[in-house]
Amino acid sequence: MKLLKFRKAASSVVDADEAYYLPSDEIKFIETEATKIKVYLLGRGADVNEDDYIYIEGITAGKELTYADDLAKSIVNHRDAIVTIDLDYSQGCTDITYTAA
């Protein structure tokens, strides 16, 4: 099983203690918006019937699709068991947050 390790970050600073480990098969879909990506996950919060999500924000304008493509390729093709998604991943970003339903 492949795990995606999303490192929590805010205002271009990675949180030293917090990361979100997610089995890659729990990703339902990826949505791009202006300067951000929303990764929808199986519900883990109080309402397990609603999607949780990870927001990746602060992506350079116009690079959202490239970032999403790189993320999708990592989910499908990456050889490592754990793939780290942080501020240095792909086109860069400023914030990575997890929101439970």
Give pTM, 2 decimals: 0.85
Band of the pLDDT at 30, cuts 50, 70, 90? very high
What average pLDDT does the segment 80-99 reach? 85
Q: Is the pLDDT of residue 48 over 80?
A: no
Q: How far is CA 18 from CA 31, 67, 76, 86, in A?
A: 24, 22, 25, 11
Instruction: Please give the pLDDT value at position 7.
Output: 92
Structure-model confidence comparison of residues 92 and 64, the more confident one: 64
**What is the average pLDDT score of the chain?**
87
